Every structure is written in structure tokens, then in C-alpha cells.
Amino acid sequence: MDISKLPQLIPTKPQKFVSIIIPTLNEEDGIEKTIRSIPKKRLSELGYNSEIIIVDGKSTDLTREIAERMGTRVILEKRRGYGRAFKTGFNEAKGDILVTLDADLTYPAELIPEYIQALNEKGLDFITTNRFSKMQNGAMDAYHRFGNDLLSLIMRLLYSIEVRDSQSGMWIMSRNFIQNINIVSDGFSMSEEIKIIAFTFFKALELDGRYYKRVGKVKLATFGDGWRNLKYLFRYRSLIKGAVKLPLDLNQKESIDVDADPYVI
Ligand SMILES: Nc1nc2c(ncn2[C@@H]2O[C@H](COP(=O)(O)OP(=O)(O)OP(=O)(O)O)[C@@H](O)[C@H]2O)c(=O)[nH]1
Ligand SMILES: [Mg+2]
């Protein structure tokens, strides 16, 4: 995709605030570069003020020290869990728009301005990024890929939602979305849960993403977490009724026109 063909990003007056939320557990290898990869300057040129929130799960390495030295907001979340970390981050965030990243340089932080542009232009509540549309060689082994594809297929079948990458961890969300949902999972299953809620009850889209080779040690236990995520897809069918804080303007969902010109990044 030739990025130069994207519509000219016209700077708007500074009224928007973006919170970038990053969960960390022993990520001293990738945290500094991850923070530097966030295009804060470009965001402010486009009229967005931004904050970076690090939600640390009691790392035993220098993750917090590095993040504090770089002037980010570091929150210590003693309770374990990827989902738990995001729940705390969402509560702490001041932004009108919330963006999530891992602290391991795998996600394209450089594309945050374009994703925010798409969120606003299409009046969306939620965007998730498809890692498989542009994956760096060696970023994910075949075993992992098979597991991801299987989870995504089962999610599509169980919830009739069009998501190619059910486990992607880069989302761009409106405050309206975050304020109106209840998230149950404290673990990695939260990633599939938030997509099910977004695509079932809100205006959501999956856009092309990228996935780069990981820096630092993986925290995800491939088989254990994969199996837990699979079981959670079935279990969540009985939990989904509590997903949205009512009253929600239920005709919100109807008006999305996915057939309009595709917003490819
Ligand atoms: N605060 C907190 N962060 C966590 C916890 N578990 C994982 N993380 C962070 O959540 C992000 C995702 O975890 P990863 O190990 O990268 O999982 P993954 O992205 O599915 O696996 P890879 O594709 O190999 O990167 C990373 O930034 C981790 O440091 C936790 O219990 N608490
Ligand atoms: Mg990761």
C-alpha cells in the first residue's frame, strides 16, 4: 500500500487528547524503543496532545526505571494479568482516544496518526489492527500462526463477526466505547473479549496492521494461553449479555457503512 496516496492529513485545532496504554512485565529490552517509536510530535502537529501510560505488573528488571526516566506515567499494578493491566490503564487514562501497544516493538506505533484519522473520519468506536496483513519474516512461527488462525476462525463462527486476527493487541478506541463496556477477563483472553464486544455492539473495523519481530522475552505461554483463549471463546457466550453498560443507544451499530471506500493503511 503506497502510504503517499493517503488523503492529506490536515492539522486541526488542538482539542483532542490521546492516551497510549502499554502493559509491561519485564520488558527492559523493548520498552525504551517502544516509547521512542510513538510519533508524539506528529500527533501534536495534527492537534493531538498525548500521554503514555505504562501499566507495570511488578517487573523485576529495569522496565519501570527506564519508563520513568523517559517521562511516561508509570502505574504499578500488583495484580497479575494482561487484561487486568488494561483495565487499570483504561481507568487511569485521560484521553478522548485510547490506543494500546505491547512493550516489545511488535506493533506499528508509527501508524497511530493514520488509525486515529480513520477512527474519526468513519465515526468509529473501535479499530483493531490485523497483524497478518504485513508480518515481518520470523515475527511469528508457523505453530503460533496456526493457533491464531484457529482461534480467529472459531471466534468468527461463534459470534458471526468479521475479524481476521482475534488476538491482535493494537486497538484504537473512543472514550465512549471504553466508558460503556464491562470487561470480565484479567488474562490474555481479554484481547478476544474486547473485540467480541466491539464488533457485536459498537461501530468497529479491523484495518491492515503490521507485526514486527519481538524484542525481549515472550510472556504468553503459547499452548497454555492458547488453550485458555479457546475455552474462553465458548465460555464467553454466557457472559456477553453483561458486556455493555445500559442504557446504550442501540441504533448506534446500524449506521456503519462498511461498503464505503475501504480505508487501507
Ligand atoms: N502489567 C502486565 N503486563 C503484562 C502481563 N503479561 C504480559 N504483559 C505485557 O503485555 C504485553 C503482551 O504480552 P506478550 O508476552 O507480548 O504476549 P504476545 O504479544 O501475545 O506474545 P508475542 O506475540 O510473542 O509478543 C507485553 O507488553 C507484556 O509485557 C501482566 O501480567 N501484567
Ligand atoms: Mg507481544
Tell me the sheet residues that pair with 207. Answer: 129
Considering only CA atoms, which of 179, 33, 164, 36 is closest in space to residue 97?
179
Instruction: State which of 21, 25, 86 you would mutate to test the pocket of ligand 1, scoring each by most atoms of that ligand within 8 A of its C-beta.
Output: 25
- Provide the pLDDT for residue 17: 96
For every one of its 265 residues, what pLDDT tens digit does the chain have, with 9 covering 90 and above? 455 555 544 444 555 899 999 999 999 999 999 999 999 999 999 899 999 999 999 999 999 999 999 999 999 999 999 999 999 999 999 999 999 999 999 999 999 999 999 999 999 999 999 999 999 999 999 999 999 999 999 999 999 999 999 999 999 999 999 999 999 999 999 999 999 999 999 999 999 999 999 998 877 777 888 999 999 999 999 999 999 986 655 444 444 444 444 444 4
- Position 204, amino acid: A
Evaluate: CB of 38 within 6 angstroms of ligand 1.
no
Dist CA 99 CA 182 (whole Å): 18
* CATH fit for domain 15-245, picks 3.50.50.60, 3.90.550.10, 3.40.630.30, 3.40.50.1100: 3.90.550.10
Question: Whole-model pTM?
Answer: 0.89
Evaluate: CB of 209 within 6 angstroms of ligand 1.
no
Rounded to the nearest angstrom, the distance between the alpha carbon of 2 and the centre of ligand 1 is: 31
Q: Residues 102, 191: contact at Cβ < 8 Å?
A: no
Per-residue CA distances from 151 to 41, 126, 127 (Å): 37, 20, 19
Evaluate: CB of 77 within 6 angstroms of ligand 1.
yes
Evaluate: CB of 147 within 6 angstroms of ligand 1.
no
- Provide the pLDDT for residue 223: 83
- Provide the pLDDT for residue 247: 62
Q: Residues 26, 216: contact at Cβ < 8 Å?
A: yes
Dist CA 139 CA 239 (whole Å): 33
Evaluate: CB of 83 within 6 angstroms of ligand 1.
no
Rounded to the nearest angstrom, the distance between the alpha carbon of 22 and the centre of ligand 1 is: 9
Evaluate: CB of 85 within 6 angstroms of ligand 1.
yes
Instruction: State which of 58, 102, 151 you would mutate to test the pocket of ligand 1, scoring each by most atoms of that ligand within 8 A of its C-beta.
Output: 102
H-assigned helices in 130-181: 142-159, 175-179
Evaluate: CB of 75 within 6 angstroms of ligand 1.
no
Rounded to the nearest angstrom, the distance between the alpha carbon of 197 and the centre of ligand 2 is: 22
Tell me the sheet residues that pair with 73. Answer: 53
Evaluate: CB of 214 within 6 angstroms of ligand 1.
yes
Task: Give the count of beta carbons closer than 10 Å to the beta carbon of residue 4.
Answer: 5
Indicate left, alpha or beta for 50 from its phi (over 0: left) and psi (-120 to 50: alpha).
beta
